[in-house]
């Protein structure tokens, strides 16, 4: 286990100013802690530039609005805060975490007048999965919990509370020897993994679930665009678990996962192949600050 996250050296941008890492604290009676009134983003900086920073900042603002609060900073100010953090901490290649939450003025379900806080941290974080394991494809289990009906949760927000079942599911998967878990939706259809979107390949075409009860990730959109630039057809549709035996390849996408091939989901087996490998390489090239273009 590495250094505890509250003991990292550096600074964090907190409500408009840089503060020492150890001083970036909240009170135990913070509304965001008790009632999950918090939204966040997961981003990566490559070569000193946050990939698709504006898209992430826009989604952060939208997520807050869905949770009925307004972040008191503009998209441009959030982007500038992220850049300041990676520059000040000298982290050209880093994971970046903006988070906004309701403060502690009122403790109860209703807290409309609570102060809205915003913080941005960044730290070194290598590939989410072991590089050797990633090349041969990770093993994924099947989660017990399902993605809820979007009429019961704010599914389109990247909100802290929505990840409770993800943490539980990933812990159970890891204890069973898997790297992650695939979640079905409330109707029993394939949805996503605990922190990544999922794709399947059949006869040279890519199939991925319709993202209407989980986040359509920014990495997901990037990879779909990269595939289409290659002339690969991408089909967004409902996918049932019994269809998985008909797919030859599988991979997952996310800011942390980037593009990671999958070799196994519970009883279903896949073999990382040409399309997965091509998109891994294309994504690696795309995220670099210069020359973000895929060769024809």
Which of 52, 158, 205, 269 is labelled catalytic? 158
Check residue 131 and give its pLDDT. Answer: 61
For 30-52, what is the mean pLDDT? 97
Q: Tell me the C-alpha distance between 136 and 131, whole Å.
A: 9
Q: pLDDT of 99-147, one tens digit each?
A: 999 999 999 999 999 999 999 999 998 766 666 667 789 999 999 999 9
Choice among 7-16, 61-70, 202-211, 284-293 with the minimum mean pLDDT: 284-293
Q: pLDDT of 268-282, one tens digit each?
A: 999 999 999 999 999
In the predicted structure, residue 296 carries a pLDDT above the cut 80: no
C-alpha angle 12-14-16 in degrees, rounded to nearest 5: 120
Q: pLDDT of 236-245, one tens digit each?
A: 999 999 999 9
In the predicted structure, residue 189 carries a pLDDT above the cut 80: yes
Q: Annotated catalytic, 52?
A: no
- The token pair at 36 is 């999950």
Half-sphere exposure of 27 (CA within 13 A, CB side): 11
105 dihedral zone (left: phi>0; alpha: psi -120 to 50; beta)? alpha
Half-sphere exposure of 9 (CA within 13 A, CB side): 2
Check residue 1 and give its pLDDT. Answer: 53
* Domains in the chain, CATH or no CATH each: 11-123 (3.30.470.10), 131-286 (3.20.10.10)
């Amino acid at each position: 286990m590495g250094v505890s996250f509250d003991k990292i050296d550096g600074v964090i941008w907190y409500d408009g100013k840089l503060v020492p890492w150890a001083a970036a604290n909240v009170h135990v009676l913070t509304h965001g802690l008790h009632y999950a009134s918090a939204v966040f983003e997961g981003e990566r900086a490559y070569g000193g530039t946050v990939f698709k920073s504006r898209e992430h900042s826009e989604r952060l603002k939208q997520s807050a609005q869905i949770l009925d609060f307004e972040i008191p900073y503009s998209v441009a100010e959030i982007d500038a805060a992220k850049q300041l953090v990676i520059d000040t901490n000298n982290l050209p290649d880093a994971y970046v975490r903006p988070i906004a939450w309701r403060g502690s003025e009122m403790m109860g379900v209703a807290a409309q007048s609570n102060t809205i806080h915003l913080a941005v941290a960044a730290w070194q974080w290598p590939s989410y999965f072991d590089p050797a394991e990633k090349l041969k494809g990770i093993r994924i289990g099947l989660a017990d919990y399902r993605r809820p009906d979007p009429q019961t949760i704010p599914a389109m927000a990247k909100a802290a509370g929505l990840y409770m079942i993800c943490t539980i599911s990933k812990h159970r998967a890891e204890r069973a020897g898997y790297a992650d878990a695939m979640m079905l939706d409330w109707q029993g259809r394939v949805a996503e993994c605990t922190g990544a979107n999922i794709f399947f390949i059949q006869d040279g075409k890519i199939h991925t679930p319709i993202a209407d009860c989980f986040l359509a990730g920014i990495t997901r959109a990037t990879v779909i665009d990269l595939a289409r630039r290659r002339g690969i057809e991408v089909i967004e549709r409902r996918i049932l678990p019994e269809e998985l035996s008909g797919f030859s390849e599988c991979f997952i996408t996310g800011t942390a996962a980037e593009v990671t091939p999958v070799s196994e989901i519970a009883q279903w087996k896949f073999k990382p192949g040409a399309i997965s490998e091509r998109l891994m390489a294309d994504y690696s090239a795309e995220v670099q600050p210069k020359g973000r273009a895929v060769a024809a």
